[in-house]
Amino acid sequence: MSFGVSSVALLHLLDNQLQGQIDRMNRTGYGLLVVHVNTPSAAPTGMHMEKLEERYPRHTYLSVDLTEVFNCPSRILEGLGEPESISAPSGLGSQDSNQDKLDRLLESLPSATSRMDILNILRTRLLVENAKKRGCEGIIWGDSTTRLAEKILAETAKGRGFSLPWQLSDGISPHGVAFKYPLRDLLKKELVTYASLTTPPLNQFIVSEQAPQAFTSKNTTIDNLVTNYFESVEENFPSIVANVVRTSGKLSARQSFGDGKRCGICEMPIAEGTGGLHGWGGGQEKMDLSSSHLCSDEKLCYGCARSSLRVTTSVRTGP
Amino acid sequence: MPPSPCALCSSRALIVRPKNHQKLCKSCFLSIFEEEIHHTITTNALFERGERVAIGASGGKDSTVLASVLKTLNERHNYGVDFVLLSIDEGIKGYRDDSLETVKRNAVQYGMELCIVGYDELYGWTMDQVVEQVGKKGNCTYCGVFRRQALDRGATRLGINHVVTGHNADDIAETVLMNLLRGDLPRLSRTTHIVTSSVSSPIKRSKPLKYAYEKEIVLYAHHKKLDYFSTECIYSPEAFRGSARALIKNLERVRPSAILDVVRSGEDMAKLVPEGVSDVQHCAGRNEATPAGGEEEGSGGCGSGGGRSSGGEMADMEGQLVENESAREREVEITSTITTSNGISAKEKNTTRRHQQQDARKTRKLPRQNMGQCVRCGYLSSQETCKACMLLESLNKSRPKTEIEVGLEDEEEDSSSLRRRMENVVLAGG
């Protein structure tokens, strides 16, 4: 639950379906756990959660802080690896609050794009962790066609093209829980219309997403950029948006994720010998980045390695 | 503020690398650029000793830099490769004739043999005439199909079976996004391969600049003071490419590595394209990929019109998609009427029908291409007549059948206006 139009509409639809099941059979086929993840950038949403709970009282509600990702079982921490190396220089590692750890992790990343990228991954992993802890069978995402198309291009632009089949398809995900995308065939503008037509309208529950920043801003991220791009494409060419999703849906995972190497950050399977920034023919930085921290490189997938790469070159140019 | 030193040697840095914002002096930039291409060539084993290789040269920055770098590396690392320049003359006044002059100068500067193949001698049509005939929209199809064959024919004429082209990382990234947008999986699986050889063409193509940024190519050409021609093709670029190009440029601004990252994603996604759709042999790895109708191979010189998108092509595609969708809906309606009329048993029928439909959809994959020869020109083709001949046929149909015109063809300058005058005469006479 992000309080965006898609996830609110999804909750409304599922609630209706459950109501229908109760009316007919007096029992339901499934139960919902509505989870919201608080991220440092977003405004506090406690109030919105209460409003939703009032309107749809049938479900369990849970609000977690992104910082809790550091309290999760060792697997995530171990995979992250990052905070350890970051907290080392300060010497106070063990005393740090989770908030400090998160802040430092984010500060260490080279750009706004990387921060957003890693934040999204952390959020997914936290959701997965919570779903597992509470014995959920799967996670239902509110991604619309538009959102999925954005994801496809953004992930492609971030060098994560390899992971698309796992990020788009319904079914068991590499994280070990099933992912489902029931809104995959609806455009965002359809959902917006839908939200205004229900009685009462859903608009009151929707926290409008931040207006994307101006293009010149240094804080623009690849995700923002692609979102803006598809906003304009959807305006005139809605079928092209749907086509992107349909096409990418045809990509099939060639490799099972049963065993084999996993990326330490995003948990996506890595094909043998292609990990890190240098595991391919285009990795030419080898020659100018001989330095140290890239040893751990091959534990990460290309996309995560890219996002967590610190700007060594510009640091080195100091006097 | 003291001047920044070069990150590799200690002299003064003059250049910020577009790729990773590394500060370098001029000579370090030139050598790192060359070494990266050397790295690409060696890791992919692009050349063999003693091989004769044609450089597809348009006179533009990419192919000029390619020729210059290959000459330098060939001497420095002793590849033992004999490079030849191969140019295509599409017959576009004010664009190609000028750029061919550049190629002729380059041939002298680099001491390479030069071969020019013209559309008019191969097909009897220059692009200027084609545009006059079909209009500014959609003429890129003709140019692409013609160029692909012309490159092959030129290479054959030179007795060469390997052509290198100047496609750079920006071009590849753009094509990856473009194919995602228009849903062209077979092409998506082909574009990212560095070497493409195929059943549909006896000539092997490769792209040594695949990982080189366009901006760095421009910088290299500038600092090496290379002689290149910088006007874009005067005919309109494809809308999809324009849209994708604008997006790529914006992505690069946000994160310089994005271009390389898209290329990487494209390579990874190529491996994920299901077997039936692509005609790539996956086991063969990246060294033996197979493009079939590879139009992208030929589009090197055009489509770089920097986001000038007319939108017409996108609108066409949108229209077609909508049509497909409504057709599919109509199909469903028919099946549902059958079910209602047949009662309960029809429900089963309906599901089996659905399965059949699904199966049919699955097996309706692209048939494997069986290559034969075009009955008209003898060029390799999967159809009875090759694409170029089919396009030519449609062009020739509308060409006036006056015998006189052939005689006029010699004076190319005025042929079209003369022709028109002749037509007027006939009309007046009738």
3-class secondary-structure state, position B35: helix
Whether the pLDDT of residue A59 is over 80: the answer is yes
CB A229 to CB B263 under 8 A? no
Q: What is the mean pLDDT of residues B164-179?
A: 88
Q: How high is the ipTM of this complex?
A: 0.80
Q: What is the mean pLDDT of residues A287-301?
A: 48
Whether the pLDDT of residue A66 is over 70: the answer is yes
> How is residue A158 written in tokens?
């971030």
Q: What is the mean pLDDT of residues B335-363?
A: 47
Q: What is the mean pLDDT of residues B82-90?
A: 90
Cβ atoms of A237 and B314 closer than 8 Å: yes
What pLDDT, on the 0 to 100 scale, is given for residue B68? Answer: 92
What pLDDT, on the 0 to 100 scale, is given for residue B274? Answer: 72
Query: What topology does CATH give the domain A5-84+115-252?
Result: Rossmann fold (3.40.50)
CB A284 to CB B39 under 8 A? yes
Bridge partners, residue B84, by sequence: B54, B113
- % of chain B residues with pLDDT over 90: 10
**Which residues of A, range 211-270, sit inside 8 Å of B by Cβ?**
215, 220-222, 225-226, 229, 233, 236-240, 242-244, 246-248, 250-254
B48 vs B369: which has the higher pLDDT = B48
Q: What is the mean pLDDT of residues B99-110?
A: 90
User: 3-state SS of A163-181?
Assistant: HHHHHHCCEECCCCCEEEC
Whether the pLDDT of residue B334 is over 50: the answer is no
In whole angstroms, what is the distance from residue A183 CA to residue B123 CA? Answer: 52
Whether the pLDDT of residue B136 is over 80: the answer is no
Binned at pLDDT 50, 70 and 90, residue B84 comes out as: very high
Buried b (16+ CB within 10 A) or exposed e, B383-414: eebbbbbbbbeebeeeeeeeeeeeeeeeeeee
Decide if A158 touches B, using CB distance below 8 A: yes
CB A225 to CB B247 under 8 A? yes
Over residues A129-164, the pLDDT tens digits come to 888 888 888 899 988 888 898 888 888 888 888 888
In whole angstroms, what is the distance from residue B257 CA to residue B19 CA? Answer: 6
d(CA A230, nearest CA chain B) in Å: 10
What pLDDT, on the 0 to 100 scale, is given for residue B318? Answer: 75
List the single best residue of A168, A247, A278, A308 to mutate versus B (max B Cβ within 10 A): A247
Whether the pLDDT of residue B364 is over 50: the answer is no
Where are the domains positioned within chain A? 5-84+115-252
Over residues B208-258, the pLDDT tens digits come to 898 889 999 999 999 988 888 877 777 756 666 777 888 888 888 888 888
**A196 phi, psi to nearest 5 deg:** -90, -10
Residue whose structure tokens are 């092959």: B152
In whole angstroms, what is the distance from residue B225 CA to residue A21 CA? Answer: 75
What pLDDT, on the 0 to 100 scale, is given for residue A75? Answer: 54
Measuring CA to CA, which residue among B253, B1, B390 is closest to residue A220?
B253
CB atoms under 10 Å from CB of B365, counted, come to 11
d(CA A30, nearest CA chain B) in Å: 26
> How is residue B247 written in tokens?
């997006």
- % of chain A residues with pLDDT over 70: 71
CATH tag, B31-301: 3.40.50.620
Whether the pLDDT of residue B283 is over 50: the answer is no
CB B265 to CB A162 under 8 A? yes
Query: A249 exposed, middle or buried (CB, 10 Å; 0-12, 13-18, 19+)?
Result: middle
- In the chain, the amino acid numbered B61 is K
CB B260 to CB A281 under 8 A? no
3-class secondary-structure state, position B116: strand
> How is residue B162 written in tokens?
């390997």
Cβ atoms of B274 and A166 closer than 8 Å: no
CB A225 to CB B251 under 8 A? yes
d(CA B135, nearest CA chain A) in Å: 25
Kindly provide the residue ranges of all beta strands, DSSP E only, lying in B257-359, ordered along the sequence.
none
Inter-chain Cβ pairs, chain A and chain B, closer than 8 A: 164
- Name the closest residue on chain A to residue B282, using Cα atoms: A254
> Strand B82-89 relative to strand B52-56: parallel, antiparallel, unpaired?
parallel
A-chain CB neighbours of B180 within 8 Å are 152-153, 156, 244, 247-248
Decide if B273 touches A, using CB distance below 8 A: yes
- In the chain, the amino acid numbered B333 is E
Rounded to two decimals, the pTM is 0.75
In whole angstroms, what is the distance from residue A213 CA to residue A210 CA? Answer: 8
Where are the domains positioned within chain B? 31-301, 312-429
Longest dimension (CA), chain B: 88
What pLDDT, on the 0 to 100 scale, is given for residue A44? Answer: 62
> How is residue B219 written in tokens?
């910088």
Q: Which of A174-188, A241-255, B34-48, B244-258 has the lowest mean pLDDT?
A: A241-255
What pLDDT, on the 0 to 100 scale, is given for residue B83? Answer: 92
In whole angstroms, what is the distance from residue A231 CA to residue A237 CA? Answer: 10
Binned at pLDDT 50, 70 and 90, residue B60 comes out as: confident
Decide if B364 touches A, using CB distance below 8 A: no
CB A162 to CB B314 under 8 A? no
Binned at pLDDT 50, 70 and 90, residue B72 comes out as: very high
What pLDDT, on the 0 to 100 scale, is given for residue B340? Answer: 41
